[in-house]
């Protein structure tokens, strides 16, 4: 049967994507030209903060002292899980070498980037987990310098729990600056910081646009849009749990899409009945976001069978994909496009967002069709090398000369010719393009 939309989105995540471009471009250009002073000017304007920009060891210690011991224990628990998972990921990368022909060896090395800039949102919500996810993976990768950057609150500064998390996870510097000015500071190496080689971490639309504009000049984890989540649910699922999971992700932002794909009409209708009540029960600060996201961006899609459900999910390529259905192994084998997969009612996106060890910085807006999320690998450069004996280079030089001449690249061909002439002066070689 064709897909039936019981609820269709009226807006998409890209509906307002172009509106901030010129603003962000102007801010970046002005900060690059004006340096520290212009960055401080924007920090005063947007952050409404005039305290220390780079936290001193004493300020870090004072902030850490404000964090309750139970929260510290929870942060250490999450950090340990993220660290161990990142270490396991790093172990999958190894330096290798291969003898291409006798006497000619080529190899691969994995080298961490030198300086990482980790953006940690701190506006409406203090994203403690983002500090853990970004700083820990950079540390495990082996980056020599890690800056954690988070928006300060007026007359308060960076949230103490974010400071504590960034500190124990290995940040070398903690920057009290938000938005475009924070991203620019890390990119341009202001206030004595090294210029970042890569920028990572989630942020609002201004942060995302700044990273998009700067990409190429600096590496980024991904070009991120609003967070999105999809739930696959069959007739065996619990509609209350499904609805709760959808609402939990809708609270991220007014433009955060949530989607339900099911082959059971009764489940779909019950979830649609439950969601508004669950949103109404949220605290007011969370309620407005969830309500707008559900009203304008959410979709409920009825499919004919599980194969059609899986195909629908792959088409959406969601950032977060939850399966609340029977035969979880089938879904694990079948699904191909997602940022992170949550199999069964016993786990939830919230677990991955905070504490299980897998990273919560994930591809959005369909990007999961071609890339995964933040991992220790994002900070690693996979580079190659080669070494040869003179005899080992002979056959490679001959092939290189002929291929280069066939392409019309005579300079390349002569780089091979000169070696053959030097190493094998008594031998004759046919190095013409048609040889």
Which CATH architecture describes the domain 21-221?
Answer: 3-Layer(aba) Sandwich (3.40)
Reading the block at residue 209, the tokens are 């646009």
Which tens digit of pLDDT belongs to each residue from 184-224? 999 999 999 999 999 999 999 999 999 999 999 999 999 88
**pLDDT value of residue 126:** 80
Residue of 320, 326, 410, 427 with catalytic role: 320
Residue of 273, 319, 326, 377 with catalytic role: 319
Q: Is the model's pLDDT at 15 over the cut of 60?
A: no
pLDDT band for 14, please (50, 70, 90 cuts). Answer: low
Q: Is the model's pLDDT at 157 over the cut of 80?
A: yes
Which tens digit of pLDDT belongs to each residue from 369-407? 999 999 999 999 999 999 999 999 999 999 999 999 999
**pLDDT value of residue 13:** 61
List the chain domain ranges.
21-221, 226-372, 389-423
**pLDDT value of residue 12:** 77
pLDDT mean over 288-310: 97
Q: Is the model's pLDDT at 17 over the cut of 70?
A: no
Same fold, 21-221 and 226-372: yes
Does 226-372 carry CATH code 1.20.1090.10? no
pLDDT mean over 27-39: 97
* Catalytic residue status for 319: yes
**Higher confidence at residue 17 or residue 239?**
239
Which tens digit of pLDDT belongs to each residue from 356-370? 999 999 999 999 999
* Catalytic residue status for 320: yes
Which tens digit of pLDDT belongs to each residue from 56-69? 999 999 999 999 99
pLDDT mean over 17-42: 92
């Amino acid at each position: 049967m064709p897909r039936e939309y019981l609820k269709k989105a009226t807006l998409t995540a890209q509906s307002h994507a172009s509106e901030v471009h010129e603003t962000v471009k102007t801010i970046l250009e002005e900060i690059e030209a004006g340096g520290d002073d212009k960055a401080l000017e924007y920090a005063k304007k947007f952050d409404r903060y005039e305290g220390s920009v780079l936290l001193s060891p004493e300020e870090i210690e004072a902030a850490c002292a404000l964090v309750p011991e139970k929260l510290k224990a929870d942060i250490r628990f999450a950090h340990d899980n993220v660290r161990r998972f990142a270490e396991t990921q790093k172990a999958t990368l190894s330096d290798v070498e291969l003898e291409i022909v006798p006497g000619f060896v080529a190899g691969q090395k994995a080298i961490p980037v030198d300086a990482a800039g980790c953006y940690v949102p701190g506006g409406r919500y203090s994203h403690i987990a983002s500090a853990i996810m970004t700083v820990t993976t950079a540390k495990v990768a082996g980056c020599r310098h890690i800056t954690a950057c988070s928006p300060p609150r007026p007359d308060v500064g960076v949230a103490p729990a974010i400071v504590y998390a960034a500190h124990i996870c290995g940040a070398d510097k903690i920057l009290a600056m938000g938005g475009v000015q924070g991203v620019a500071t890390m990119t341009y190496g202001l206030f004595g910081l090294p210029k970042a080689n890569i920028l990572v971490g989630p942020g609002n639309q201004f942060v995302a646009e700044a990273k998009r504009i700067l990409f190429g000049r600096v590496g980024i984890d991904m070009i991120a849009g609003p967070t999105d989540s999809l739930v696959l649910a069959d007739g065996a699922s619990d509609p209350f749990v499904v609805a709760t999971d959808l609402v939990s992700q809708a609270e991220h932002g007014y433009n955060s899409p949530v989607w339900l794909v099911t082959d059971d009409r009764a489940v779909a209708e019950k979830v649609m009945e439950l969601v508004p009540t669950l949103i109404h029960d949220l605290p007011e600060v969370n309620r407005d976001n969830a309500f707008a996201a559900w009203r304008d961006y959410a979709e409920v899609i009825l499919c004919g069978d599980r194969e059609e459900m899986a195909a629908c999910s792959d088409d959406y390529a969601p950032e977060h994909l939850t399966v609340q259905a029977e035969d979880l192994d089938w879904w694990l084998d079948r699904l191909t496009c997602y940022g992170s997969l949550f199999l069964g009612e016993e786990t939830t996106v919230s677990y991955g967002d905070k504490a299980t060890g897998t990273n919560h910085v994930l591809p959005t807006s369909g990007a999961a069709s071609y890339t995964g999320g933040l991992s220790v690998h994002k900070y690693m450069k996979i580079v190659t090398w080669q070494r040869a004996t003179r005899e080992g280079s002979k056959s490679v030089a001959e092939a290189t000369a002929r291929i280069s001449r066939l392409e019309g690249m005579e300079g390349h061909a002569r780089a091979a010719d000169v070696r053959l002439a030097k190493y094998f002066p008594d031998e004759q070689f046919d190095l013409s393009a048609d040889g």
